[in-house]
Amino acid sequence: MSARVTKAVIPAAGLGTRFLPATKATPKEMLPVVDKPAIQYVVEEAARAGLDDVLVVIGRNKSSLEDHFDRAYELEDKLEGDDGKRELLDRVRDSTRLATVHYVRQQDPRGLGHAVSCAERHVGREPFAVLLGDDLIDERDELLSRMIEVQAEHGGCVLALMEVPREQISLYGCASVETTATDGVVRITGLVEKPAVDEAPSNLALIGRYVLAPEIFDALAETAPGRGGEIQITDAIARLTDPAVAGGPVHGVVFRGRRYDTGDKGEYLRAIVQIASDRADLGPQFRSWLADFAATRLPLGDPDEPIRP
Ligand code: UTP
């Protein structure tokens, strides 16, 4: 039986090139989704799953991220002095109470696998969770705690998988799988990063949640740069699917809930619309505006035609 998972690692050192110029001086994980930065939703998810030791892997321009999870005394003093701002004060303090947040710097953004290897000293020889800082799982849909349960039962690694339309599989890491006796849990027999559609072994895509055995660090040390010249976490986990290698077995939990990849512009916009629509404070007014907008302003004709005021 392996040790309990207590630590979460959040890689947030990527360059975020798809969001330039917004990400020139601000990490993409700090872009707001309604009124919280994306990474706060991710830290909240880790805390809900019982992981209150969070290590964020940061790169250049990440000081706003450190400030966000730190106290802001001047701001808090100002809000504290104003009775009408108590609720706002609580919301400002929320981000500092969620977890103990540590930081490690990835000197050079050499890929997600390399970012995870930067966590080795902090994590030690225990299983740990990795949550991508721009990948949001709706809080109403359980995923991470289920993955931790599956890891406790089988040991090794557990990855989050999602069925995607076949033509989109080349955007993701892809798993070959065998079914198990448990609905929604599969045994992963192989992994390939961003395969061509006709070479993909399934339509099961890796999404940004992993529970990994510490042997991943040994596998990463032996993993050469792969696709895009980056050290790919998928390539390192693929090594652990070999029964002769320590660190396995590798299982997958198939997620059927709501997930928003905020690193992609289209999905970022959809995330904001969906999350705002569901919020008790904003939803009713926003939904009514949205329904009106969709009915009266969205042209059904040429999609390239600009919408006129
Ligand atoms: P992405 O590939 O989505 O991030 O990595 P990116 O490279 O920043 O994005 P684009 O494609 O240039 O727009 C997934 C996650 O891994 C982190 C990113 O911050 C993101 O949360 N990452 C990626 C690192 O921490 N280090 C890296 O070297 C690469």
The letter for the amino acid at 273 is: V
Ligand 1 centroid, distance to 10 Cα (angstroms): 11
State if residue 62 touches ligand 1 by the CB under 6 angstroms criterion.
no
Q: Is the pLDDT of residue 3 over 90?
A: no
Q: Is the pLDDT of residue 23 over 80?
A: yes
Could you tell me how many helices (H) and strands (E) the chain has, helices first? 11, 13
Q: Which residue has the tokens 């989704």?
A: 33
What would the mean pLDDT of 251-260 be, rounded to a whole number?
96
| Domain boundaries of the chain, sorted by first residue | 7-263
Site to substitute for ligand 1 among 43, 134, 268, most atoms within 8 A of C-beta: 134
What would the mean pLDDT of 109-136 be, rounded to a whole number?
96
Burial 261-296 (b: 16+ CB within 10 A, else e): bbbbeebbeebbeebbebeeeeeeebeeeeeeeeee
Question: What is the band of 41 on the pLDDT scale with cuts at 50, 70, 90?
Answer: very high
Going by C-beta distance under 8 Å and a sequence separation of 6 or more, which residues neighbour residue 139? 41, 44, 45, 48
State if residue 115 touches ligand 1 by the CB under 6 angstroms criterion.
yes
Ligand 1 centroid, distance to 30 Cα (angstroms): 13
Ligand 1 centroid, distance to 263 Cα (angstroms): 8
Count CB-CB contacts under 10 A for residue 102.
Answer: 14
Right CATH number for 7-263 from 3.40.50.1000, 3.30.1600.10, 2.40.110.10, 3.90.550.10? 3.90.550.10
Ligand 1 centroid, distance to 15 Cα (angstroms): 6
Q: Which residue has the tokens 């050079």?
A: 108
